[in-house]
Amino acid sequence: MSADRLATGLERSGDSPAARAAGLIAVAEDLAGEFSLRPLLERILLRCTELLGCTAGSICSVDEAAGTYRKEADIGVACQSGQVFPLTEGMTGVVVTRRAPVWFDRYDQVRGGHVAPAERATLCGVIGVPLEWRGRVIGACVVFSRDERRVFGPDDAELLELFARHAAIALATARMHEAAEERARAEAAAAERDRLLGEVHDSLARRLVSIRVHLDSAESELGDASGQAADLSRAAARLRQASGEARDALAEARLTLLGMSSSPLNGQALEAALEAEAAWAQSIGGLEVRFVTAGTPAPADGLLAHEVLLVAREALTNIVRHARARSVRLGLLHEAGSVTLLVQDDGEGFDPTAGWQGEHFGLRALSERARRMGATIEVDSLAGWGTRIRARFPYQRRGEQHAPRLRVLIAVGRPLLRAGIAQLLSGAEPGIEVLGDAATTAEALTACRELRPDVVLADLGLSAAAGAAGTPGAEGVTDVLLGQLPGLAVVGLCEVGDEKLVASAMRAGARGCVDMGADGPELARAVVEAGRGQAILSGPVLARLHRGLREDGAEQPLTERERQVRSLMEQGLPDKAIAEQLVLSIKTVEKYAGAVLRKTGARNRTELAAQASRARARTAR
């Protein structure tokens, strides 16, 4: 720009040193206390246009990674504020491409401009400069002139760049403020969720504990009462069963609710969290729990403390539910290069050589969780003498790699069940990502093609199409999915009576099947194993598979006496009452009862009764 032309421009804009200083001071004052982005940018634009002798301008934010920019503010011209455009268009696109000030004598020379046609005709010269922050272009400031005599040049660019720095600060500050607000909202939401989950758990715990107290008292009173021995025995057996189910319900609810919390530690130190777990086992399980620590704690990362706590939680829950223990010792040993967790009970124990890996699924999942953290774990048990778990977690995990999360699709007809399974998986295994869910076989096939999951967890009774919930199609869900996507890993979910579906799914190439009564760790274990190319069957499902693979699919025939015992077992009678009714010894009844469970594949009397209920329902239909 010539000296005469510059002087004319400065005279027109009133651009004296005092005017510049006043403008910059005004912008700085705006920046001092304003975090609402658009009003601040509009004030900056107003200063820019006044000093350049113009009446219109716009400011955009830029996302170079996405290749887009967003119109944040404009004055004097409609530039479609709030809209997003590609960086190949408009004045902002040119500025970002050149990464330097750009000006044109006429706005018509700008390719892909977004000013409305009616206003475009009124615009003459245009100038734009990049907004830079820490070496990155985060936006662009553009000023328009409607005066044909106004021609922009390097001096105008230099002046505009002074204000562009303030606009860049405004954008960066607003972004940081928005991010801080978003984090604060997320933290507040997480805290509120954790508080509500805690309240739900505490309320449920109080009610279930009260139920157990009443049931135990009733059982004790029945034992002292006179009356028909068989009636009293049946009532006592039902009370014992109800008490056990209340205990199991509380343990399962606790695992589910705590698995939904934002952090298992909730800001506590590991020792404090373990003390809380010990207190829970003592109050709910009626156990004498002793928690001891030894050694000097060393700084440990949050992930390590998280995993130690989850292993302890799983172990204590297993003890409360299954061990029939009176006392538990929970220990934490701090060593130079590791921390060791010890959980020991005086319960029933089991024979480690007699298939504990298959039947004691919680211990297997617990062992796998520890090993994924690079821990060494030992499980020692002896029938009648309790169980000891010793897990050593090194502070430095050799060869640790952050493997990609396992992508899972849930294909189940019932919406509440789908949501519950998703929560169980997410809470039990951080390495699992639930991509989505499907309600029918057709939806599952479409979702698999679009989302490409690693594993599909599918109800073997899934309907073929919407509107036919619970009615299997001519082909099972496994046949359909693997027929179209042969490399897919499918894990089936089955219920009592699904023997033929289990056999069909395994023939079709399913990676395993899990009972509908499985808990979160068991489901997660099956999914993880399937993702690794291995097959897994839970104990009850294995028995169903054996029956389903028989040519006729029928159960092993029961003898006449076994049918009599089965009928009484399905009514909930204990062995003593059955023995009295059939005039047999208790030992003989136990033998017949074992044969009935083995031949029917039922895990216990509750499942046997469920089988009978399902059989009656099918007959009624």
Judgement on whether residues 593 and 510 belong to the same structural domain of the protein? no
Encode pLDDT of 46-82 as tens digits.
Answer: 888 888 888 899 999 998 888 899 888 888 887 777 8
pLDDT at 614: 66
Among the ranges 182-191, 238-247, 446-455, which has the highest mean pLDDT value?
446-455
Judgement on whether residues 398 and 347 belong to the same structural domain of the protein? yes
Q: Please report whether residue 27 resides in a domain.
A: yes
Single out the residue in 333, 368, 402 at which a domain terminates: 402
Judgement on whether residues 32 and 169 belong to the same structural domain of the protein? yes
Q: Round to whole Å and give the CA distance between 10 and 150.
A: 11
Single out the residue in 384, 402, 420 at which a domain terminates: 402
Q: Please report whether residue 190 resides in a domain.
A: no
Judgement on whether residues 583 and 515 belong to the same structural domain of the protein? no
pTM of the model: 0.37
> Could you write out the DSSP letters of every residue in 379-404?
EEEETTTEEEEEEEEESS-TT---PP
Q: Round to whole Å and give the CA distance between 337 and 118.
A: 74
Which strands make up the sheet holding 68-75, listed edge to edge?
84-86, 68-75, 56-63, 136-144, 126-133, 102-104
Pair of tokens at residue 338: 């590791």
Single out the residue in 182, 206, 231 at which a domain terminates: 182
Binned at pLDDT 50, 70 and 90, residue 472 comes out as very low
Judgement on whether residues 431 and 531 belong to the same structural domain of the protein? yes
Q: Please report whether residue 228 resides in a domain.
A: no
pLDDT at 14: 45
Pair of tokens at residue 254: 């606790």
The H-assigned helical ranges of 459-519 are 477-484, 499-508
pLDDT at 591: 82
Sorted by sequence, the CB contacts under 8 Å of residue 287 that are 6+ apart come out as: 281, 319, 320, 325, 326, 327, 328, 345
Q: Please report whether residue 227 resides in a domain.
A: no
pLDDT at 536: 65
Whichever domain contains 327, its CATH number is 3.30.565.10
Judgement on whether residues 314 and 359 belong to the same structural domain of the protein? yes
Q: Name which residue leads in pLDDT, 352 or 523.
A: 523
Among the ranges 203-217, 540-554, 575-589, which has the highest mean pLDDT value?
575-589
Specify whether the CB–CB gap between 515 and 540 falls below 8 A. Answer: yes
Judgement on whether residues 394 and 479 belong to the same structural domain of the protein? no
pLDDT at 474: 45
pLDDT at 579: 86
Binned at pLDDT 50, 70 and 90, residue 34 comes out as very low
Judgement on whether residues 153 and 7 belong to the same structural domain of the protein? yes
Binned at pLDDT 50, 70 and 90, residue 103 comes out as very high
Angle between helices 17-33 and 154-224 (to 10 degrees): 0
Whichever domain contains 35, its CATH number is 3.30.450.40
Query: How many percent of the chain have pLDDT more than 70?
Result: 66
Which residue carries 């504020």 as its tokens?
Answer: 81
Q: Please report whether residue 22 resides in a domain.
A: yes
Q: Using the predicted structure, report yes or no on whether residue 101 has a pLDDT greater than 90.
A: yes
Query: How many percent of the chain have pLDDT more than 90?
Result: 9
Q: Please count the structural domains in the chain.
A: 4
CA dihedral 211, 212, 218, 224 (to 10 degrees): -170
Q: Please report whether residue 26 resides in a domain.
A: yes
Binned at pLDDT 50, 70 and 90, residue 418 comes out as confident
Least confident of 118-127, 256-265, 541-550: 541-550
Specify whether the CB–CB gap between 79 and 58 falls below 8 A. Answer: yes
Average predicted confidence (pLDDT) for the chain: 75
pLDDT at 356: 41
Judgement on whether residues 41 and 153 belong to the same structural domain of the protein? yes
State how beta strands 512-515 and 489-494 pair: parallel
Among the ranges 302-311, 328-337, 509-518, 608-617, which has the highest mean pLDDT value?
328-337
Query: Which structural domain range is residue 418 located in?
Result: 406-548
Whichever domain contains 605, its CATH number is 1.10.10.10
Q: Please report whether residue 206 resides in a domain.
A: no
Binned at pLDDT 50, 70 and 90, residue 5 comes out as very low
Q: Using the predicted structure, report yes or no on whether residue 6 has a pLDDT greater than 70.
A: no
Judgement on whether residues 364 and 420 belong to the same structural domain of the protein? no
Judgement on whether residues 394 and 440 belong to the same structural domain of the protein? no
Q: Round to whole Å and give the CA distance between 246 and 268.
A: 29
Q: Round to whole Å and give the CA distance between 254 and 264.
A: 12
Q: Name which residue leads in pLDDT, 556 or 99.
A: 99
Specify whether the CB–CB gap between 139 and 62 falls below 8 A. Answer: yes
Encode pLDDT of 353-375 as tens digits.
Answer: 554 444 444 566 566 666 666 77
pLDDT at 349: 81
Among the ranges 377-386, 595-604, 606-615, which has the highest mean pLDDT value?
377-386
Q: Using the predicted structure, report yes or no on whether residue 328 has a pLDDT greater than 60.
A: yes
Q: Round to whole Å and give the CA distance between 29 and 202.
A: 52
> Could you write out the DSSP letters of every residue in 442-509?
HHHHHHHHHH--SEEEEETT-BSSTT-TT-B-SS-HHHHHHHH-TT-EEEEEE-TT-HHHHHHHHHHT
Whichever domain contains 410, its CATH number is 3.40.50.2300
Pair of tokens at residue 511: 């990676």
Encode pLDDT of 141-199 as tens digits.
Answer: 999 999 988 999 998 998 888 877 877 887 877 777 776 667 766 666 666 666 666 66
Judgement on whether residues 364 and 462 belong to the same structural domain of the protein? no
Q: Please report whether residue 452 resides in a domain.
A: yes
